[in-house]
Amino acid sequence: MTARSPRRAGVRLSASLAALSIALAGCVATEASALAPDLPSPEPGAIRVVATTTVLADLVARVGGSLVRVTSLVPKGGEIHTFDPRPSTLIAISEASLIVANGLGLDEPLTDLVATVGSRGPVIQLGEGLARTALIADEGQPNPHAWLNVAYARLYVAAIASALKSALPTRAAVIDAQAAAYDARLAELDAWTRARLAAVPAANRKVIVLHDAFPYFANAYGLEVIGSVISSPGQDPSAGEITALLAAIKASGARAIFSEAQFSDKLAGAIAAEAGVVVESNLYDDTLGDAPADSFEGLIRWDVDRIVAALQ
Task: Dump pLDDT digits (tens) for 211-240.
Answer: 889 999 999 999 999 999 987 766 788 899
Amino acid of residue 255: R
DSSP sequence for 142-171: E-S-GGGSHHHHHHHHHHHHHHHHHH-GGG
Total Cβ atoms within 10 A of residue 15: 6
Q: How far apart are CA 155 and CA 144, in angstroms?
A: 14
Q: Tell me: the pLDDT tens digits for 205-216?
A: 999 999 889 999
> What pLDDT does residue 5 have?
38
Q: Above 80 in pLDDT, residue 97?
A: yes
Domains and CATH numbers, the chain: 17-192 (3.40.50.1980), 194-311 (3.40.50.1980)
Q: What is the pTM of this model?
A: 0.88
Q: Which of 29-33, 259-263, 278-282 has the lowest mean pLDDT?
A: 29-33
- The confidence score (pLDDT) of residue 234 equals 66
% of residues, the chain, pLDDT over 90: 69
Q: Is the pLDDT of residue 123 over 70?
A: yes
Return the amino acid letter for 285: D
Question: Residue 78: which of 223, 273, 260 has the closest Cα?
Answer: 260
As a whole number of angstroms, the distance between CA 220 and CA 269 comes to 27
Q: What is the pLDDT of residue 230?
A: 86
Q: Is there a contact between 71 and 81 (Cβ–Cβ < 8 Å)?
A: no
